[in-house]
Chains A and B, each alone.
Chain A
Amino acid sequence: MLVLTRKSGERLMIGDDVMITVLDVGRGQVRLGIEAPKGVRVHREEIFAKVIEENRHAAEASGDFLPDWEGEGDED
């Protein structure tokens, strides 16, 4: 892993077109500004963990999937 030290207001370039600016540092948090082309997805890492967890739930739940409501119009 490449480790760099940056101060507030300083920037990082990743490749030619992704720029990360350290906006604010303090109290155990860092605020980052990210400028990237529209085609590049930027995520907090946690969302992947959430999607994986939900996929596992979905796969388990599909085992006895027999919805009562489906195709029967409105109920209650």
Chain B
Amino acid sequence: MNSERVFTALLRLYPRRFRNEYGDEMLAVFSELQAHREGSPVAFWAFVLTDTLSAAARERLEGTRWLATAACGLLVTAIVGNATAWAYRYFYHPYFEGLTIRVLPYGLGLGLVLGVSVALAQRLLYPSSERRARQWMLASAIALPIVVLFCSAAIDRTATGVLPIANVHPSLRDLFVLGLAQPRSWSALATEFGAMAASALAARALLVAPFIRSRHAH
């Protein structure tokens, strides 16, 4: 097996899109590098291997950042949403009989939490503002419906008192598994989804858009 074939095999460590875009060029550069190399073959291959492994790992990690962003938004919003519902249940008093958490403000509030948490996660994970702007929509599109399902179920449990009082301290299983129950009605779900989307977009506009605009001004 000659050197080019070994390097072509190493290129498979990179994500396919990256390989399709730069694979041929990288192979050409590798050939020139090998033709002009000085020193032992062992040192040359150690250099090529460490470079390939570290660069491929970075590139693979880059490809999963959107998932980390969505997960961060999802986790923070689910915790805040469920904590609100559980707090309502915990501090419930007969004096508040008939008082329920309204779907619309609850959705608006959670959307705000989602927008802020996703924007903050992106500031940490994405050094490039342009890329951050594109990835935001993808992360939110994944996180939003899941969060809505969770939180609708949390409201449902709170309002109807389905769970016994002994469960006021939710376990991780309660938070992620029992949360995925049916929402009360499709119209409630639609209202909440719309409210969440609107406030998440508003939070994004406030937190991320000015930053992007200032970058484009340069």
| Same complex origin of A and B | no
A interface vs B, CB < 8 Å? none
B interface vs A, CB < 8 Å? none
